[in-house]
Structure 1
């Protein structure tokens, strides 16, 4: 128990409604585990805050209290008060999952948001909130860094402005000091978050919007230190919003690179609306609506050079290309072995995707979702391009190089290599080329020994043309050609596949449009696959797997333009 006096909250009024969360995310079953139920919801006094049959992430979400700020939370106000009291009764200081620094950080922010939007914390919860802030201030996750440390700092800034007194001032100063170091470190010059996860990028953007909201709620509060939080956050929000637009499908949701799933972070359109409510210039993020297949996507190639992603849009299609490093060298925990993977959106629908993320932990499913085989790229000899292991570990990792971009009014070409397989015999290099026209996408893959050989690529109109790729072979390349390389293309579960002959298929979109898929160089087959669009949700899907001929694979997607 605390021997220090209670800290009284300052009188701040929130300037904009914070993002309404969806409540507890669907992690495979209902989060609250009651023994009895009332009309308002589970009886709080019977809730199990440490269910033994649930994994750590599931229990983390239980202690976040996101439901306090859910879209319909007002209908459960009294039940929430009892839930808050129950948490304080059943979770004494420094015990259990709920007191780990990360869930403590998110819970503190949610409790303060709930209070600033007109609710009153019960007295015992207000006392607990001060103890949580004191506890967190001595257990910051400096060893983990990344989004965890940023969440710690955000919570201390919230508590430092919410409470009054010298101790509260120290929380505020500590939080601002961390933000002053971590925001420039974590947000790259092109606006991307340095962990290169589209999902965590959106979560960090929400954090910054919340901090901007909070500072506006306390206009007279002194902000210690040399960090100009107001100016820095406003500029960073604009850059992060622009980056997020680049990595969003026209359906309004994120592309899946590294740890990514829908339903954890707010949708991009929700983040844009939050920015508008704060009076910020709205980021140019897509609205979540069904795109019209007849609406062409403007011709544009956007290269986010610092983070390493490319958005190629032409006609009725957009492709998202991963020519990025896995993540910061000292923080690869949310990275996947997905180098040179891509996603493809045509006629208003996702067609080719990466496998997504359904869970954390250290089990086989978590590892499998991080491996190369769960992504639309090339695997060699059953190995991943980066050596992912355990739940959040990576040993040797792929590094892209040799990026070349060519853009004309009716053709976009990108080629890039990576060295992730150089640890294998003959030190193979994977090089991939994408060539997009208004009526198709050609994906060419080469596996060669150290990149010293040259071949040619065949364009969509079957004319031979050089694209700065290997031609001929040396002895090392012949050994590499014997490696069991495979290019995989995961087809979204909503797309039908009809086989035409041994090496060609028709993809039938949900809206009735048809794409022709062929393998003019290599040998293709359709196999079962898995697709995880959300945590706790895994769908059956199919994938095209292409084996090379002489170390080369060419896969072609063709469609008819809508006039």
Structure 2
């Protein structure tokens, strides 16, 4: 699960009981919140229980205290959505932040409830999930240890500081990325580091000083910010690999938060980069960007946010998205969730209709791709990114190896051409399908005479695609999900090939108009 609070856009809060999460609005009538509202998704209800709207400046303190009181009255201990550990964790932090930054008398009942939630959470840590959930659990208890004054609180601060130190080292990779390999969750956990830094810096109790060294936190925050600055698109969007949303609000929020505590990204933005640990490789220019997913699916013990997107990519030209990842519409189990995680939803090769990795349920993964490798070689104005993996475990004839080499030519700080070469190695024969998902603003036109595809943006020709080694090229209708709860119609190019392995095929994207 994840939080999607954006103070500037997510809430139409002229009314205290009007909420907007995941691009879905709901106004509760009669100033009474239905905390188990059944007409919205479970993730929407999660966001309601997070209480991150306490940071919304357009709501008055009277309204916020009223909502806190309603929650206490309507949500008895260990009952309902609000008492799922992830919800409890984020709500604890929201209440502590709100109470800490207000010159007000905090209602005794609210403090009692907050303390009770912390005690309950300590007995319900999500050790069966770990990863970002566990990080949020122990972060909440640690901050409660700094907030409250008691022997138990001191134990929370000292004990959970040790756990946080361990989790930060484990969850952040050497290149600065978060180990779940999702750009969105990277931003969420980076926000958590910033909250830890801010609260730890403000500690006045000498016995609690240094539990989490500030220079240790700053080191990890700087690396995380550097990573973000490199992989984010020129317009601020995030790559949509694994479970991720391209909306840039969290990236901008983290940068502002970091500056407010005098932490600044020091990283140099490279034209070509290869983050082998995190699995992001690409070319970043002033208005153009190519980024490819080149790493493992995630931590072996928690790959729940995995998609079948290895060697998939996204492309921006002249500040406009051209080729996109399908994205994520929702976390609800079902056909849409399954499609978003499938191989056909990404810009990569699918063999005989099988999946790269066996994803199932809403957050489950069985056998997954292995031997994932990536190399970057640059010379003058050209860059070659080569990635490879083994996958398609469900294929009866045996495993499949996929190697993709992408040659990117750069001229005058712009991408002028891409050549994408795929080699599929396996036993026997089968059909392969290569898909290219286009941004909704891009109109493809297939020329039957030369089998080229021409891409148009607002009536202007921007690129021409040439194909080699394919049996057929077609255009199909599909959907694009740039953010949770948002669906847009778009086009997908479908390139097919069949025969005995090994098979090799390629296509080039020649940029025509900049």
TM-score, scaled relative to structure 2: 0.90
1:124 counterpart residue number: 109
Secondary structure in 1 matching 2:323 = strand
Q: Is the 8 A contact 2:282 2:385 kept in 1?
A: no
- Are residues 560 and 203 of structure 1, via their aligned partners in 2, closer, same or farther at CA, if it must alter by over 3 Å? same
Consecutive unaligned residues in structure 1, runs of 5 or more:
1-17, 37-42, 286-297, 450-475
- Are residues 221 and 499 of structure 1, via their aligned partners in 2, closer, same or farther at CA, if it must alter by over 3 Å? farther
Q: Is the 8 A contact 1:321 1:341 kept in 2?
A: yes
CA shift at 1:249, angstroms? 0.7
1:277 counterpart residue number: 260
1:228 and 1:65 map into 2 onto residues whose CA distance is 26
- Superimposed CA distance per residue, residues 337-370 of structure 1 (whole angstroms, 9 cap, x where no aligned partner): 1111111111111111111111113212111111
- Are residues 180 and 82 of structure 1, via their aligned partners in 2, closer, same or farther at CA, if it must alter by over 3 Å? same
- Are residues 54 and 384 of structure 1, via their aligned partners in 2, closer, same or farther at CA, if it must alter by over 3 Å? same
CA shift at 1:431, angstroms? 1.5
- Are residues 302 and 129 of structure 1, via their aligned partners in 2, closer, same or farther at CA, if it must alter by over 3 Å? same
* 1:322 lines up with 2:293 in the alignment: yes
1:164 and 1:361 map into 2 onto residues whose CA distance is 40
1:509 counterpart residue number: 457
2:506 counterpart residue number: 554
- Are residues 157 and 379 of structure 1, via their aligned partners in 2, closer, same or farther at CA, if it must alter by over 3 Å? same
2:171 and 2:128 map into 1 onto residues whose CA distance is 15
* 1:492 lines up with 2:439 in the alignment: yes
CA shift at 1:187, angstroms? 0.3
Q: Is the 8 A contact 2:200 2:212 kept in 1?
A: no
CA shift at 1:526, angstroms? 0.9
Q: Is the 8 A contact 2:239 2:246 kept in 1?
A: no
CA shift at 1:331, angstroms? 0.6
1:342 and 1:25 map into 2 onto residues whose CA distance is 31
- Are residues 381 and 162 of structure 1, via their aligned partners in 2, closer, same or farther at CA, if it must alter by over 3 Å? same
1:442 counterpart residue number: 419
CA shift at 1:227, angstroms? 5.3
CA shift at 1:157, angstroms? 1.6
2:359 and 2:256 map into 1 onto residues whose CA distance is 37
2:413 counterpart residue number: none
1:212 and 1:93 map into 2 onto residues whose CA distance is 30
1:468 counterpart residue number: none
1:153 counterpart residue number: 138
2:485 counterpart residue number: 536
CA shift at 1:547, angstroms? 0.8
Secondary structure in 1 matching 2:24 = coil
Bigger mean CA offset, 271-280 vs 195-204: 271-280
2:237 counterpart residue number: 253
Matched residues, number: 490
Q: Is the 8 A contact 1:137 1:171 kept in 2?
A: no
1:540 and 1:514 map into 2 onto residues whose CA distance is 20
1:558 and 1:118 map into 2 onto residues whose CA distance is 57
Secondary structure in 2 matching 1:376 = coil
1:521 counterpart residue number: 469
1:189 and 1:536 map into 2 onto residues whose CA distance is 33
Consecutive unaligned residues in structure 2, runs of 5 or more:
12-18, 411-415
- Are residues 221 and 513 of structure 1, via their aligned partners in 2, closer, same or farther at CA, if it must alter by over 3 Å? farther
* 1:180 lines up with 2:175 in the alignment: no
CA shift at 1:228, angstroms? 3.6
Q: Is the 8 A contact 1:526 1:544 kept in 2?
A: yes
CA shift at 1:488, angstroms? 0.7
2:494 counterpart residue number: 545
CA shift at 1:422, angstroms? 5.1
Q: Is the 8 A contact 1:521 1:552 kept in 2?
A: yes
Q: Is the 8 A contact 1:160 1:170 kept in 2?
A: yes
1:402 and 1:136 map into 2 onto residues whose CA distance is 40
1:217 and 1:306 map into 2 onto residues whose CA distance is 33
1:413 counterpart residue number: 384
* 1:27 lines up with 2:37 in the alignment: no
2:487 and 2:266 map into 1 onto residues whose CA distance is 31
1:293 counterpart residue number: none
Q: What does 1:417-432 align with in structure 2 at a 5 Å threshold?
A: 417-421=388-392, 423-424=394-395, 425-432=397-404
CA shift at 1:266, angstroms? 4.0
TM-score, scaled relative to structure 1: 0.82
Q: Is the 8 A contact 1:31 1:62 kept in 2?
A: no
1:219 and 1:247 map into 2 onto residues whose CA distance is 37
1:403 and 1:28 map into 2 onto residues whose CA distance is 36
CA shift at 1:561, angstroms? 7.0
2:184 counterpart residue number: 199
Q: Is the 8 A contact 2:421 2:504 kept in 1?
A: yes
Say what the alpha-carbon RMSD is for the aligned residues: 2.3
Secondary structure in 1 matching 2:29 = coil
Secondary structure in 1 matching 2:129 = coil
* 1:369 lines up with 2:334 in the alignment: no
1:69 counterpart residue number: 55
CA shift at 1:259, angstroms? 0.3
Q: Is the 8 A contact 2:296 2:372 kept in 1?
A: no
Bigger mean CA offset, 163-172 vs 505-514: 505-514
1:533 and 1:399 map into 2 onto residues whose CA distance is 28
- Are residues 60 and 447 of structure 1, via their aligned partners in 2, closer, same or farther at CA, if it must alter by over 3 Å? same
- Superimposed CA distance per residue, residues 488-527 of structure 1 (whole angstroms, 9 cap, x where no aligned partner): 1110112222333362122123594611122233121111
